[in-house]
Amino acid sequence: MTYVDEAFAKLRSQLEITKTESDLAARRHRAIRDHVSSHWDLEDDFLTGSYRRHTKTKKLKDVDIFVVVRRSGEQGHLRDLGPRALLEELKMLLDEKYDSVTIDRMACTIDFGSEEILSFDVVPAFKRKTGGYEIPDTSSGWIATNPKRHHEMTTEKNAACDQKFVPFVKMVKGANRELGEPVDPSFLLEVMALELVTSPFGRYQDEIVWFLATAADEFDRAWPDPAGIGPDVNTMSERDRRTASTAFQEAQQIAERAVWMEDNGQEKAAVEEWRRLFDWRMPRP
């Protein structure tokens, strides 16, 4: 293993959720789910989003919890009152146990402050007869989604890429954070990677260069929900798409220089160049 390979191995390890973080997140999400299920008639409750797909980057923020309300149950009437009313009812319930609860577009966010496990998004949902779920969106009404299918697709792609796809997505997300998060939502990067990354999967160095170059040219197109039922994932404005493209082009140049340095025997210099994209996420070997 080369010096650069060791650095990427450390990067991969650094991006993993530790047992301590996982245990704390588990205690908290179970307490939240128990609190809601003990007061509301639910069909199901489960973790979803990037935390469930194992593509969440640290620090842990906005861990997603789905609470699926039974349509025929006591809270089923909230579906007819609209997204805002549903979220306000959920907020009142969460306020009974938690000090800092706010309503976001599609969820109630419980904020734990400046800790490693920063916040949880509790998303109320209803099952759709044709599959998947519908969730509230205070901006556009109800939207369809299927997070379980998203998880299945990520798992399938990870297996096809020799278990390297999920770490790769974390690396790309980490670089996006270091760049100031020009790509928002970060889920867009996962959706793009599902299509753009192919197997056999090569070295992380080469795959990152290729992805940055390809993605920079693809922000101006629509990126549909991979589950086939939700809205377009690329919700960025034209201006934000141009900003993201420029940022990824600049990141591509950094990555290409790093690969050139490695190919020419300047491995320590190559790692320092990669650290411009990953900073503390990539410890030196």
User: Tens digits of per-residue pLDDT, 193-202?
Assistant: 999 999 999 9
Residue range 78-83: average pLDDT? 91
Please report, as a single letter, which amino acid is at residue 183.
Answer: V
User: Tens digits of per-residue pLDDT, 189-246?
Assistant: 999 999 999 999 999 999 999 999 999 999 999 999 999 999 999 999 999 999 999 9
Residue 154 predicted with pLDDT over 70 = yes
Q: What residue spans of the chain are helical by DSSP H?
A: 3-15, 19-37, 49-52, 78-81, 83-95, 147-160, 165-178, 187-196, 204-216, 238-263, 267-278
Q: How many CB atoms lie within 10 A of CB 80?
A: 8
51-65, 174-188, 270-284: which range is least confident on average? 51-65
Please report, as a single letter, which amino acid is at residue 85.
Answer: A
d(CA 46, CA 278): 31
13-17, 96-100, 117-121, 279-283: which range is least confident on average? 117-121
d(CA 108, CA 101): 7
236 near 184, Cβ under 8 Å?
Answer: yes
- Quick one: how far is CA 133 from the chain centroid? 19
Q: What is the pLDDT of residue 117?
A: 56
d(CA 8, CA 267): 12
